[in-house]
Amino acid sequence: MTEYSAPVESNLSKAVVDTFAADVANQLSYAPGADLSPIVAKLGGRITIQNVLDFNRVPSGSIRIDAPGRFEIFLAAHTGPVRDRFTIAHELGHYVLHYLYPNRIGRKVERLEAQRYGSGRVEWEANWFAAGFLMPVAQFRERFGLLQGSQAALAAEFGVSLESIRIRIQSLGLTR
């Protein structure tokens, strides 16, 4: 059986992760609100939708990384597209922050598996990455102003939940 390690904190600040995520999105030519499947494919990954009764697989809402450019993101069959988008971006956060980054700075990570239901710094970092990737600060601020702070319009434009929009507005100190 192949052994996978659990992710280790990058210890990058929230602001650094946010900027890093936006830079990654830009380098991958991701436009806010666009489909994430081509991004995952471009990075060498694949997305697997799991049936709730598939007990022999990795838990949904997780990622398994075998090598650079070879990973699989697992999604539940019963979740919707908005939830799935955030989950995919979150799992990409694990791939970038907890696999690619440590290997780049000399902290060798062979194989990695980040499972759903974790909490703590590692999961916060992946959430920060997802927010920065899906809702880059510059575009978010611009659209917030143009859309007069409409949370529903922002959610539709960025393809995220209203809760994600509320958290982003609060974290950026935006008000209307």
> What local confidence, expressed as pLDDT, does residue 73 receive?
96
Contact predicate 92/129, CB 8 Å:
yes
- Asked if the model's pLDDT at residue 116 lies above 90, the reply is no
> What local confidence, expressed as pLDDT, does residue 125 receive?
97
pTM here? 0.93
- Asked if the model's pLDDT at residue 77 lies above 90, the reply is no
> What local confidence, expressed as pLDDT, does residue 115 receive?
81
Contact predicate 82/161, CB 8 Å:
yes
Q: Is 102 exposed, middle or buried (0-12, 13-18, 19+ CB in 10 A)?
A: middle
Q: Residue 106 — very low, low, confident or very high, per pLDDT cuts 50/70/90?
A: very high
Contact predicate 157/31, CB 8 Å:
no
Distance CA 104, CA 124 (A): 21
